[in-house]
Each structure stands twice: as C-alpha cells, then as structure tokens.
C-alpha cells in the first residue's frame, strides 16, 4: 500500500525545508511528520519522503536506522517508555518496568494484541531529579510510585 | 544569593514579565558596541562552557573568522542526554527569553545570521514551550528582519529549533552538526574545528544552552560583576542537578565552588534514612566517581574537581547510599555507553560491548579477579583512541569505579561466594532489546 502525505503535512514539510540550506537537512523533521501521520516509518514512507525531498532513499534509511525515536514497526496507541538509567534505577525504575511488563504481558518493543500498548526500555530521558519516570506518547510522568503507575495504567486500560 | 540563569521571578516565561525586568536591554546595549567588544567582555568575565568541557566561551567565539565569504552559524546545544543532567529544560520552561536574548547577542558577536537550537526529541513539552517563546520573539521584532528596526541596527538573525531523535552522541558538537545536516550523528575528526569548518563547511560556534543564558547579564551588568561570583578561575553560578539517593532531588542554582557536601546535605536534604554515602558521580555518568570518604572539602568547580580526581562535567550530581550495589550501577552505565556508541571507532564500538559482557559475566556469578583487571585494560585501550569523547566517557566510569571501589568488586568475583545480583539486571537480557 503506498503512502502519500496529506496536503497539510506537505505544507509542514515545505516550512521545515525553509529552515535549512539543503533538502537533506529537512529529513529529520520530515520523518517526524511522516511518523505522526503513519504511526511508523515503512518502506513506502521512505519512498514518499525521497520523492518529496528529492533525496536518495538510502539517505533516509541511514537516518531512520540510527535514531531510536523513529519506529520501523508499528507501536501501540499508548507507547510507554520506561527510563531505567542510573538516577531512575536508584529510585526503583526496574520495579516499575516489571510492573508494566507483567501487567501488559509484553516484552520490550512488543505491542499488546489489541494494539493498545507497547513498551520500550529507554536511556536517560533528562528527568533525573524527578525519578523514577515514564513517558507515554509525548507526556512525561515523574516522581512515580508503583501505586501511581498502576493508577495510570488502569486509567488507560479503561479508556476506550 | 542572586540567581543569574533562573532568577526568582514568577512568570518570567511571559514576554511582558521578561521585558519589565530588563529583558532585551542587554541586546540593545550589545548593538551599541562592536562584536569585538562583546567577545572581549565575555572573555574577561571568565565564563566557561556549561556543557561538560568547561572551555572559555569568549575564547571559543574569538576563533570564528572575522572575514569570510561563507555564512556563519551558531548551534545551541540542548541535547541534554548525559545521565544525571536535567538542567536545560528548566531554562526552556522558566526563562526562555533570556536564552533567546543570549542567542541574539552571541550571533551578533560571532557574525552568525542563522542559529539552530538543538533540543532532544523526547522533550516534546519543552520544545513546544521554547517554540512558543521564539514565535513571540519574532512577533515582537526581537528576531528576524524586523530586528533592524527594533534594535536600530543593520544586524538581524534567525533562530530555528532542530529536534533530535534519541541519540546521546548528538550532544557531541560535531555529531550535533551532522544531525542538523540530516545525517547520522557521527562525530567528525578534528581538526578542522567547527570555527573553521562547521555546518555545511562554514564557520560555526557551538555553545551549551546554560552558557548562552549567562550572556545577557554579563553584557548588562558588566564582566567585573560576573567574574566576582564563585570561584575566580571558573566564575558564575551553575545549575546543579542533584539526583539519586537524596531527600530533595532537583536543580539548584548556586555559585561555583560550593562544597559538594553542602550541596548534598544542606540543599538536597541529605540521604534518606540518614544513611552514609557510598559513591557520588559529580558531573554526569561519564565523570570519574568519588568514594563517600573522598567528599570532605571537595568544591564544585572545574579546578577543584580536577584536583579531587574527577571533573565538573554538566554538574549533574548522582548520589548513591551505602546500600547501593555498584556492580549493578556500573553495568547499567556501561550498557548505556555501549548502546549509544555511534559505531565509527573500533575501540569504542567493540570495547563498550566487551565491558558490558564482562560485567554481565560477573553479575551472573561467573567472574574472576582477572576480569576486573581485564575491564581496566579494555577501558585503557578505549580511552584516548577514539574520534570523540564518548570513548573516554565509557572508559572512565569503569576504570575509576573499579579502582576506587576494588574491595566491593572483589566480593563479586570470588568464586566461592556466589553473589545474586537482583534479577532486575538479568531482565535487561530477557527483554529482547537489541544490544545496539
């Protein structure tokens, strides 16, 4: 199935291109726009970006496979990122990781069968003073306890 | 104590509040002087970079060529991915206009008409807040072509946010430039340095967010005022991020040269349960850790920490109490650097992986004393043998943690005592997470 940018997103890409002297430099913002529209970066998405920016596909693939925030597979409606780096680890991040993993029954980078949740163990999220923390989609949840995490998960589980 | 970067003024992120507290007066003052004057004042102030290397800011600016046919660029580093460091987001949230004003003055001083503010991609909220502030600055004529009228000058500059995408290495200045150019964040071989050949082959200066935010008060109040704050060789204040086993973790703006124990006990509220401190990493995980009994008299500035056997880094202080399992901590740190190695240099790409494997072996109860020496040997072979400082950053924690806590690590490698490391570490192996 081919992928095409919406008219609105084509305008966003054009705005991004104006920030840089080369089209290649717009590849990172364009990938974000594509990911927001499609959910992840498929081969079809790469084809379309190459067409729109007028750059080689390999240049896009090179970027997609280097940066961890671009998904090459679909993620859940709620993508939960758990920071387990030192400051979070010292304050119980792995207990939170275990709780989420057990409750959802999935491993790292897996998606629940209903497509609602995915989890990812991530490196430092720059929230060390508010540890432990998780991020769900674009939102940070900080100073967490197991009870708070349970509460957050339950509210998402009940949210259709 | 006067706060320079995060003043205690409510709603300073609102343009009206910023303006009523002297906002953009420093920029106006700067435009009445020559760029050379501005660089001279920043040099005399003694301002050092806040991103890790503590290099003299004015000196760095002076490396930019005055006469060139090429465009010049400014990059502001807000990638903030060093574990333990979480200071820049406070500036994005609470004092974005002082950062913008600092960018304007810096652009004028170095002759750059385009600035890229590189912010880590995970900071969605703070990117939105910063973009809102930039949009406001454009609307009010503090950025863009209307600057000519607003400031009555021939100079103008544009400021764009470039959003990172989850690669720690992009905090390294040349990797950051590659990332802005739309490439993999591979560090570049230096020389040539960015001032000679930076973004798209043009002269470029790269400064940390906190460094740039210090610039407007220096210009407005004078370099003499700034140079008298804190330690003479490393003046000003720092945003100390304190995390780990403390009662009140958070960001504290205090003068350089404050006692590390003062920071931990008086500001960060001491250790939960009044436990003893086993280990402190004073400047982010790449800096050599200090033992609890090494902290007395240690001051938080570049020179003092060097003497104490560590470094100031990003002033991200991680505190670990007496019950902390340092093998588990070191394994987590090493796994981080292995994951974040860009893979260009063999010593870093392979060495970080070897160190992680050896630490796993020890954690699984199969280590011997020789493994500790082997780890130090691998670390020594990485250190100084890579294009960028990530190699050193990965090597130092291993080398210094084992050297300074040898007794503790010896406990884990005695074959007759099987230490069971909490299964949380093992879960790293069971998560199907690719190692790289």
Tell me if ipTM is over 0.95.
yes
Q: What is the DSSP letter of B56?
A: B
pLDDT digits (tens, 9 = 90+) for A27-57: 999 999 999 999 999 999 999 999 999 999 9
Task: Annotate B282-294 with b (16+ C-beta within 10 A) or e (fewer).
Answer: bbbbbbbbbebeb
The per-residue pLDDT for B430 is 46
Residue B403: pLDDT band with limits 50, 70, 90: very high
Is residue B259 over pLDDT 50? yes
Tell me which of A70-84, A115-129, B129-143, B422-436 is least confident: B422-436
CA-nearest residue to B83 within chain A is A124
* Size of chain B in residues: 436
pLDDT of residue B1: 73
**Full-model pTM:** 0.95
Check A97 against B427: CB less than 8 A apart: yes
Looking at the complex, does the CB of residue A32 fall below 8 Å from at least one CB of chain B?
A: yes
pLDDT value at residue B159:
98
Chain A residues close to B281, C-beta within 8 Å: 86
Nearest to A86 among B86, B168, B285 (CB): B285
Average pLDDT over chain A, rounded to an integer: 97
Say if B184 is an interface residue toward chain A (CB within 8 Å).
yes
The pLDDT value recorded for residue B2 is 86
The nearest alpha carbon in chain B to A22 belongs to B181
Q: What's the pLDDT band for B425 if we cut at 50, 70, 90?
A: low
Q: What is the mean pLDDT of chain B?
A: 94
Residues of B in contact with A107 (CB under 8 A): 430-432
Residue that wins the pLDDT comparison between B434 and B184: B184
Q: pLDDT at residue A133 above 80?
A: yes
Question: What angle (nearest 5°) sits at the alpha carbon of residue B296, between those of residues B290 and B302?
Answer: 60
Q: State how far residue A33 is from chain B, nearest Cα, in angstroms.
A: 12
Instruction: Report whether the peptide linkage leading into residue A42 is cis, meaning its omega lies within 30 degrees of zero.
Output: no
Between residues 35 and 74 of chain A, which touch chain B (CB distance below 8 Å)? Answer: 59, 62-63, 66-70
Per-residue confidence (pLDDT) for residue B435, from 0 to 100? 35
Whether B424 and A94 lie within 8 Å, measured CB to CB:
yes
Contact criterion met (CB < 8 Å) for B123 and A126: yes
Q: What average pLDDT score do residues B278-288 get?
A: 96
Q: Which of B87, B90, B119, B122 to mutate: most A Cβ within 10 Å?
A: B122
Instruction: Over range B123-135, report the average pLDDT.
Output: 98
Confidence of residue A159 (pLDDT cuts 50, 70, 90): confident
Least confident of B5-9, B174-178, B324-328, B410-414: B410-414
Nearest CB partner across the interface for A109, out of B162, B333, B432: B432
Which positions in chain A touch B89 (Cβ < 8 Å)?
Answer: 126
Query: Is the model's pLDDT at B414 over the cut of 80?
Result: no
Q: For residue A22, what pLDDT is reported? A: 98
For B113, residues 6+ apart whose C-beta sits below 8 A from its C-beta are: B71, B72, B107, B156, B157, B158
> Which residue in the set A62, A95, A140 is minimally distant from B125, CB to CB?
A140
Report residue B302's pLDDT band, with 50, 70 and 90 as the boundaries: very high
Q: C-alpha dihedral over B316, B322, B328, B333, to 10 degrees?
A: 10
Is the pLDDT reported for residue B436 higher than 70? no
The answer to whether B223 and B41 are in contact (CB under 8 A) is yes
CA distance A72 to chain B (A): 13
- Whole-number pLDDT of residue B424: 55
Q: Is B431 on the interface with A (CB under 8 A)?
A: yes
The pLDDT assigned to B428 comes to 53
Q: Are A90 and B329 inside 8 Å of each other by CB?
A: yes
B46 Ramachandran zone, left/alpha/beta (phi>0; psi -120 to 50): left
> Looking at the partner chain, which of B88, B185, B250 has a beta carbon nearest the beta carbon of A129?
B250
Indicate whether B232 pLDDT > 80: yes
User: How much of chain B, in percent, has pLDDT values that exceed 70?
Assistant: 95
């Amino acid at each position: 199935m081919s992928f095409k940018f919406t008219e609105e997103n084509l305008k966003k890409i054009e705005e991004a291109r104006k920030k840089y002297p080369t089209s290649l430099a717009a590849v990172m913002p364009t990938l974000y726009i594509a990911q927001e529209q499609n959910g992840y970066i498929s081969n079809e998405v790469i084809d379309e970006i190459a067409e729109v920016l007028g750059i080689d596909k390999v240049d896009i693939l090179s970027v997609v496979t280097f940066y961890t925030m671009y998904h090459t597979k679909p993620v859940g409606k709620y993508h939960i990122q758990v920071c387990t780096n030192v400051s979070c680890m010292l304050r119980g991040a792995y207990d939170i990781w275990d709780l989420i993993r057990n409750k959802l029954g999935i491993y790292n980078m897996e998606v629940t069968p209903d497509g609602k949740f995915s989890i990812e163990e991530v490196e430092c999220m720059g929230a060390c003073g508010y540890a432990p923390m998780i991020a769900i989609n674009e939102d940070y949840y900080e100073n967490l306890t197991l009870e708070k995490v349970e509460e957050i998960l339950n509210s998402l589980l009940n949210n259709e | 104590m006067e706060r320079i970067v995060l003043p205690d003024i409510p709603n300073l992120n609102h343009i009206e509040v910023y303006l009523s507290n002297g906002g953009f007066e420093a920029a106006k003052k700067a435009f009445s002087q020559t760029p050379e004057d501005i660089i001279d004042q920043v040099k005399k102030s003694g301002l050092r970079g806040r991103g890790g290397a503590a290099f003299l800011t004015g000196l760095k600016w002076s490396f930019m060529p005055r006469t060139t046919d090429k465009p010049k660029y400014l990059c502001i580093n807000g990638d903030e991915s060093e574990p333990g460091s979480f200071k820049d987001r406070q500036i994005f949230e609470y004092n974005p206009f002082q950062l913008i004003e600092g960018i304007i003055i810096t652009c004028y001083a170095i002759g750059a008409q385009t600035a890229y503010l590189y912010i880590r991609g995970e900071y969605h909220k703070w990117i939105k807040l910063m973009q809102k502030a930039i949009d406001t600055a454009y609307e009010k004529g503090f950025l863009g072509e209307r600057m000519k009228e607003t400031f009555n000058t021939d100079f103008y500059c544009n400021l764009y946010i470039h959003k990172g995408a989850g690669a720690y290495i992009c905090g390294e200045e040349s990797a950051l430039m590659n990332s802005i150019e739309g490439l993999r964040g591979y560090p570049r071989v230096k020389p040539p340095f960015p001032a000679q050949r930076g973004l798209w082959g043009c002269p470029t200066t790269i400064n940390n967010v906190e460094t740039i935010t210090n610039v407007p008060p220096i210009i407005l109040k004078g370099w003499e005022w700034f140079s008298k704050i804190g330690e003479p060789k490393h003046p000003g204040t720092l945003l100390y991020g304190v995390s780990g086993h403390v009662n009140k973790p958070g960001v504290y703006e205090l003068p350089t040269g404050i006692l590390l124990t003062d920071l931990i006990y008086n500001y960060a509220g001491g250790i939960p349960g009044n436990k003893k401190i086993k280990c402190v990493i004073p400047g982010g995980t790449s800096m050599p850790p200090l033992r609890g009994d090494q902290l007395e008299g240690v001051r938080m500035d570049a020179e003092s920490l060097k003497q104490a056997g560590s470094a100031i880094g990003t002033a991200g202080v991680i505190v670990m109490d007496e019950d902390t399992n340092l093998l588990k901590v070191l394994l987590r740190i090493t796994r981080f650097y292995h994951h974040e190695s860009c893979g260009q240099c063999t010593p870093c790409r392979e060495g970080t992986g070897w160190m992680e494997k050896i630490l796993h072996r020890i954690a699984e109860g199969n280590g011997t004393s020789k493994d500790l020496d082997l780890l130090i040997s691998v670390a020594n072979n990485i250190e100084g043998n890579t294009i960028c400082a990530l190699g050193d950053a990965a090597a130092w924690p291993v080398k210094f943690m084992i050297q300074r806590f040898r007794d503790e690590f010896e406990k884990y490698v005695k074959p007759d005592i099987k230490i069971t490391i909490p299964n949380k570490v093992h879960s790293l192996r069971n998560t199907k997470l690719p190692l790289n």
